[in-house]
Amino acid sequence: MTKGAFSDLAVPGALLTCRVTPKASRNAVERDGEGLRVYVTTVPEGGKANVAVVKLLSKALGVPKSALVLVRGETSRDKVFRVG
């Protein structure tokens, strides 16, 4: 995955639906129908996986980490982020 590979989704105010897989064998972001699949190697303890997802998504979208806001799904595998 190259930096900004999904920059077409980085529209301010857009809502991104993501299905997260923690404890995966690799870090990756893939398109999956209408949303994204995000694979992170970190464990889902104390919000560590959410931090890893934001870091990975920001790189894939080509936006700063502060531009992504978790709207829904803090403790769920299905998350919704708003691009700021």
Tens of pLDDT, residue by residue over 14-52, are 999 999 999 999 999 999 888 999 999 999 999 999 999
Report the mean per-residue pLDDT for the chain. 94
In 1-84, the DSSP E strands lie at: 15-21, 28-32, 35-39, 68-72, 78-83
pLDDT given at position 67:
96
pLDDT given at position 1:
67
Burial class (CB in 10 A: 0-12, 13-18, 19+), 46: exposed
Does the structure show a pLDDT above 80 at 2?
Answer: no
The CA distance from 18 to 81, in Å, is 8
The CA distance from 68 to 19, in Å, is 16
pLDDT given at position 24:
97
Homologous superfamily in CATH for domain 7-73: YggU-like (3.30.1200.10)
The CA distance from 60 to 6, in Å, is 6
